[in-house]
Amino acid sequence: MGEIRLMKGNEVLGEAAIRCGCDGYFGYPITPQSEVMETLMQRAPWNETGMVVLQAESEVASINMVYGAAGTGKKAMTSSSSPGISLMAEGISYIAGAELPCLIINVQRGGPGLGTIQPSQADYFQAVKGGGHGDYKLIVLAPASVQEMNDFVDLAFNLAFKYRNPAMILTDGALGQMMEKVELADQKPRWTDEEIKKISGDWATTGKPTSRKKNVITSLEMDSNVMEAKNRRFQEKYKLIEKQETRYELIQCDDAEYILVAFGTSARVCQKSVEIARAKGLKVGLLRPITLFPFPNAVIKELAHKAKGFLSVEMSAGQMIEDIKLAVYEAGSNARVNYFGRMGGIIPTPGEVVDALENKFYGS
């Protein structure tokens, strides 16, 4: 068993980064995630593991530092909250275009604009549909507990390196600020130069020895035919990720007539809503997507043949519902798809969700 502690989600993100052998963190303060960098600075991992932690001059700089650092074949990451992630959009697109592995954490707050500092899930589209310019996808993980905040740091790096693709942890201010019991992983050493050479020697820019050709990291291609071929290869990669890496959790869905679909903080709320609904005799289950890209289409298609309807519960104006509708449509099912959510930094209550469920599906 690993070390057990009571910690804030944001602190755990920093601690997990050190313990998974991350090489470099670059970030800029923004509420509600500033504790990530504060924890790292307090822990001073450069003394222990050699991990570099640097406060950048902006999120634009942070993501480009991550781009450079990731180019060395090492584990690089940044964290921010919604407005900062918007600033990073160009850099994230470059990282995806150059196929570099890295970790980006978005501890979301309400928007648009400067919005609120309270929790939100309104960056769903930005995270799963691309966010920056061009046809690309991030691997998006949505933790629903402080424990998952811990576990997904290592998982995100593993997936990022497996597919040479940026990965994102999409969480929110509630999970970032919430304290829970967490079992921390044991300290892993950072990769040695030899290990990096084995993992990424054919692409990382570490200085060209005479034994290999120069490595060039770029997203630029002047020949449209070559660029299109590259785009096609990217799409194949994203399909493979969909096939191999879709993760979700099903709670009481076996006999469910109606299914709540929710991730992260909303999923925590919906767990309680399922209990309340069940106590009322309503056959309700919960599908919790753990990966948002890849989205668990296949399981929704399956459920769409058994269930009468889905309720997408979101802390946004109804973004994920579009993906649910698409899956239900593709399944050729008549299941109804509805939305309930709160915005602006407000977390729905379990009771509100049950009310919405009853109103929308059970009639009054």
Tell which residue, 23, 44, 1, has the closest CA to residue 189: 23
Distance separating alpha carbons of residues 336 and 270, to the nearest angstrom: 18
Contact (Cβ atoms closer than 8 angstroms) between residue 141 and residue 106: no
> What string marks each residue from 100 to 139 as x (binds other proteins by CB under 8 A) or -?
----------------------------------------
Q: Binding other proteins by CB under 8 A: which of 12, 76, 170, 315? A: 76
Residues 15-54 that bind other proteins (CB under 8 A): 23-24, 26, 52, 54
Q: Binding other proteins by CB under 8 A: which of 74, 109, 137, 288? A: 74
For strands 166-172 and 139-141, give the pairing: parallel
Q: Binding other proteins by CB under 8 A: which of 14, 19, 32, 67? A: 67
Cross-strand partners of 108: 172
Contact (Cβ atoms closer than 8 angstroms) between residue 11 and residue 182: no
Report the Cα 139 to chain-centroid distance in Å. Answer: 7
For strands 76-80 and 24-27, give the pairing: parallel
Least gap, CB of 53 to other proteins (angstroms): 10
Tell which residue, 123, 140, 133, has the closest CA to residue 89: 133
Count Cβ atoms below 10 Å from residue 261 Cβ, excluding itself: 28
H or E stretch covering 183: strand 179-183
- Does position 157 interact with other proteins (CB under 8 A)? The reply is no
Q: Binding other proteins by CB under 8 A: which of 30, 37, 61, 127? A: 61
Least gap, CB of 218 to other proteins (angstroms): 4
- Does position 227 interact with other proteins (CB under 8 A)? The reply is no
- Does position 58 interact with other proteins (CB under 8 A)? The reply is yes
Least gap, CB of 208 to other proteins (angstroms): 5
Residues 191-220 that bind other proteins (CB under 8 A): 205-210, 214-220
Q: Binding other proteins by CB under 8 A: which of 12, 56, 138, 140? A: 56
55/187 with CB nearer other proteins: 55
Least gap, CB of 215 to other proteins (angstroms): 5
Contact (Cβ atoms closer than 8 angstroms) between residue 266 and residue 122: no
Report the Cα 267 to chain-centroid distance in Å. Answer: 15
Site residues for other proteins per CB under 8 A? 23-24, 26, 52, 54, 56-58, 60-62, 64-72, 74, 76, 90-91, 94, 98, 205-210, 214-220
